[in-house]
Amino acid sequence: MGLEEDYKKRAEEHQGNDLKDRIWRVIFLSDTPGAKTFDLILMIAIGISVIIVMLESVESINMAHRELFLVVEWIFTILFTIEYLVRIWVVRKKSRYIFSFYGIIDLISILPTYLTILLSGTHYLMIVRVLRLLRVFRVLKMGRHMGEANHLMNALRSSWAKISVFIFCVIAVTMILGTAMFVVEGLIAKNEGFSNVPQSIYWAIVTISTVGYGDITPVTVMGKMLATVIILIGYGIIAVPTGIVTAELNARFARVQMDYRVCGECGLEGHDPKAIFCKSCGTKL
């Protein structure tokens, strides 16, 4: 588990007892009481600030509480800015943090508020602050759900090659079927919803994924027959990504049920729970 190891290695780098290292441990770790409190406060702050971004977008609410939102937004921006500067200050390898995924997210989370003063017309950018949500994953990743999330992420990652090949095939199939539908419904029946190929492909994807908005639907008999065929194909293949992930998770489960005994002779791990002798050197376990 690379994640856990990386976590440990970085923890060791900041073992010192000076203020910087102590703050680092509060901010970046999550197993001391101080760190847990910090994580909790941070998550609440992120939660509130994201809710404000959402409420601001509702015109009626924004009208009534514009001043309140502005004040709260500035408080959070200043808090997050302080946090960002402290993070840069305490971390050993500053550039690695700044250009890391979370470092960039931390910066993007505070920039839009400042930009609204410097430049006018950047109000739309405010919405970018919703990306603060991504910061929650950092806390989550280190917290008590690390094992669970890790497990899932690994299963998804190793299924990804298969799933992406599959999704590529699905896209190719929907392109061909969508075009056929464009001919049948758009060209022949002059159905507005299928007036061009990209739109027909959009419909085919909405259909094959079983979303089925119903904003575009076939009206001719031929179109409905073709739609039925597409639906049945979708029905037959929706099983595939599920099958991939499940088989992957199953294999992982089986591996987890392996045993944590270490061979005293050669140090091999990963023995079968029923094994009596080391499979690598033949010593009794």
Residues 101-140 that bind a copy of itself (CB under 8 A): 124, 127, 130-131, 133-134, 136-137, 140
- Comparing CB distances to a copy of itself, the nearer of 95 and 209 is 209
| Shortest separation between residue 129's beta carbon and a copy of itself, angstroms | 9
Of 16-24, 31-39, 55-63, 93-101, the window that binds a copy of itself (rule: CB under 8 A) is 55-63
| Shortest separation between residue 19's beta carbon and a copy of itself, angstroms | 33
- Cβ atoms of 106 and 81 closer than 8 Å: no
69, 84, 102, 166: residue in contact with a copy of itself (rule CB under 8 A):
166
Q: Which residues contact 14 (CB under 8 A, 6 or more apart)?
A: 21, 24, 25, 28, 90, 92
Of 26-34, 65-73, 78-86, 226-234, the window that binds a copy of itself (rule: CB under 8 A) is 226-234
| Shortest separation between residue 269's beta carbon and a copy of itself, angstroms | 4
Paired with 284 in beta bridges are 277
Of 20-28, 69-77, 104-112, 177-185, the window that binds a copy of itself (rule: CB under 8 A) is 177-185
Interaction with a copy of itself in 251-270: which residues (CB under 8 A)?
251-253, 257, 266-270
- Comparing CB distances to a copy of itself, the nearer of 44 and 247 is 247
Q: What angle do CA 240, 241, 246 make, to 5 degrees?
A: 100
Task: Please tell me the number of Cα atoms within 13 Å of 227 on its side-chain side.
Answer: 20
- Comparing CB distances to a copy of itself, the nearer of 95 and 280 is 280
6, 13, 31, 148: residue in contact with a copy of itself (rule CB under 8 A):
148
Instruction: Compute the residue count for the chain.
Output: 285
Q: How would you class 178 by CB atoms within 10 Å of its CB: exposed for 0-12, middle for 13-18, buried for 19 or more?
A: buried
Q: What is the number of helices (H) and of strands (E) in the chain?
A: 11, 0
| Whole-number Å distance between alpha carbons of 219 and 151 | 46
Interaction with a copy of itself in 184-223: which residues (CB under 8 A)?
186-187, 195-199, 201-202, 205-207, 209-215, 217, 221
- Comparing CB distances to a copy of itself, the nearer of 16 and 212 is 212
| Shortest separation between residue 169's beta carbon and a copy of itself, angstroms | 8
- Comparing CB distances to a copy of itself, the nearer of 71 and 239 is 239
Nearest in space to 180 (alpha carbons), one of 157, 164, 203, 156: 203
100, 190, 228, 264: residue in contact with a copy of itself (rule CB under 8 A):
228
- Cβ atoms of 90 and 20 closer than 8 Å: yes
| Shortest separation between residue 207's beta carbon and a copy of itself, angstroms | 6
Q: Which long-range contacts (CB under 8 A, 24 or more apart) does 28-36 make?
A: 28/91, 29/142, 30/139, 30/142, 30/143
Interaction with a copy of itself in 14-53: which residues (CB under 8 A)?
50, 53
Paired with 277 in beta bridges are 284
| Whole-number Å distance between alpha carbons of 214 and 207 | 9
- Comparing CB distances to a copy of itself, the nearer of 70 and 86 is 70
